[in-house]
Chain A
């Protein structure tokens, strides 16, 4: 069942086009990975979906509702956003997650809100840390707090900006496994930007390749071919099946590099400064 639909999204930043003609949709219970090189507009696209950035053209529909016509509180009830960076402060884990109920809280915190936070903490196995200050947590734990906060917004769609970028391997796998099980278990959707193709291949159902602000390719694991990766990233790779999961590795002879220092890749970095704003 379709959950989120993006129609003809265009976004300019100070007159410079960043996203152009973006169309895609995500079903319930589906995990979508937005892939692409640095500066392709991945994070910008994610922020357009919950109107942190206001696109000049296009619409984002969740069910029948047009996100850009809703109030900011109502948007936060539909889309939970997990940013790349969270500033740690002297707030207990429980209170930090309770903050996610903000769009629902009118004046005071109800018992219902506290129960939801408790359930979300248990769901992410954070309940033993609930009274710890978040400035005492490890990177993985802090990321989980951030995800728990998005969950208690009770959204239809989770947006995650590079959820694994600063985590070690074990935490990466754990976070993505958790996200996936929530998406499947609660029948919601998740959209995440990612750098690591192999972890993306492992946990996502669907992929979007973004290049220079437009969608270069879109589809399930079958669409991830050496050709498309060569085109999007400018890197020659092989895709190999391993235990039913595609694994990508670069075709690159290290001996050649060691003997040829002048060889260099010509990635396009022109938009990077803009996207990182």
Chain B
């Protein structure tokens, strides 16, 4: 079969340009939020001063210390974690063909958190102290991540299994996620019950999702894993589009649906596990960000993936900055704020239906 009388329609070119423009605007917004976030805090630093320091020129020892040791790692962690969680949510929504899919709603975050708690408390891969920042110091980040990932796999396979049942509607899947989340939260509570008071304080503090506690090494691991996953996701962007149109359509287009689904879920769970084991549970970012992007530029994964990445990064950084400043001098963990903002949007998504 051959078609040779086609041309590039101007309006389609415009349609693609408009979407690309959103992405580019998002990138600029990220940079702007990034610079102003680093500038904001108990010590206010102006944007030019932030830039000068970031380019390696010393303005004052104090600014160097604040930016390089405190604000920069925190801001970068917020960007990386936001991007990772959001893109994982977008991918889970495609491969489970479920608009309510995300690491948090499917219970995968809770499973990873339980795994990390097991590794720190029982397997002794971390030390605990009731100091304010860094209640839990993870001594073996790789092992902790591995244990968190193993537990997240239990939730992942349960979800994949349930998604294979014929009538696994979005609601059924989310309810399964609630059940899994409750199960693993109970596991974490069990550990808490047998903890001594220092450990208890530490683990409670640690289960709040907070981007302030990541070290440079941990930030490196989060970024590397998210980047690798993102590259694989991008290579599969057409496969995700096809799977969203239905398994049969996808198979007819030569997509190896089972393989893409399994690999995609595993990678998304891995990203979640890494983030959760270092930062704790940060909910709703993976659910809400992809949906906001879908509203703006549609379901096309060629744009949805970079869009979710950028919006996730910007939103988590904004939320984190707000959480730092809102109740100053108290610093809120960002997960409290994402839950306050995300929960109403989640309910709205359920009420509005699946479209």
Contacts and interface: CB of A to CB of B under 8 A. Distances in A.
Interface of A: 47, 50, 52, 71-76, 79-87, 89-92, 94-96, 99-100, 102-103, 105, 111, 114-120, 122-123, 127, 130-131, 133, 135, 146, 149-156, 159, 161, 186, 188
Given A120-B3, A154-B1, A86 B249 contact: yes
B252 A80 contact: yes
30 contacts: A50-B252, A52-B252, A71-B254, A73-B254, A76-B252, A76-B253, A81-B248, A81-B252, A85-B246, A86-B245, A90-B294, A90-B299, A91-B244, A95-B298, A95-B300, A96-B245, A99-B253, A100-B253, A103-B254, A118-B7, A119-B4, A119-B6, A120-B6, A130-B9, A130-B11, A133-B298, A149-B253, A154-B1, A154-B2, A188-B1
B99 to A, nearest CB: 10
A102 B255 contact: yes
Contact of B299 (A73, A89, A105, A161): A89
A152 B248 contact: no
Contact of A150 (B238, B252, B355): B252
Interface string B7-20: 11101100100000
B6 A90 contact: no
A71 B255 CA distance: 10
Interface of B: 1-9, 11-12, 15, 97, 238-239, 241-242, 244-246, 248-249, 251-256, 294, 298-300, 355
Given A91-B298, A99-B241, A103-B253, A117 B6 contact: yes
A122 B1 contact: no
7 closest A-B pairs by beta carbon, nearest first, are: A81-B252, A119-B6, A76-B254, A115-B6, A118-B6, A119-B3, A83-B248
Given A91-B245, A92-B300, A95-B300, 9 more contacts: A76-B254, A85-B248, A87-B245, A89-B299, A111-B8, A130-B12, A131-B11, A159-B252, A186-B1
A80 B249 CA distance: 10
A152 B248 CA distance: 17
Contacts of A82: 252
Given A76-B253, A90-B299, A155 B1 contact: yes
Contacts of B245: 86-87, 89, 91, 96, 99
Contacts of B15: 92, 94, 131
B248 A114 contact: no
Contact of B97 (A81, A84, A87): A87
Contacts of A100: 253
Contacts of B246: 83, 85-87
B15 to A, nearest CB: 6
B249 A116 contact: no
Contact of B252 (A83, A89, A94): A83
A83 B247 CA distance: 10
Nearest to A72: B254
Contacts of B252: 50, 52, 76, 79-83, 150, 159
Nearest to B304: A90
Nearest to A76: B254
A174 to B, nearest CB: 20
Contacts of B1: 151, 154-156, 186, 188
A47 B257 CA distance: 15
A72 B256 contact: yes
Contacts of A120: 3, 6
A96 B244 CA distance: 11
B113 to A, nearest CB: 32
A118 B9 contact: yes
Contact of A119 (B5, B242, B244, B294): B5
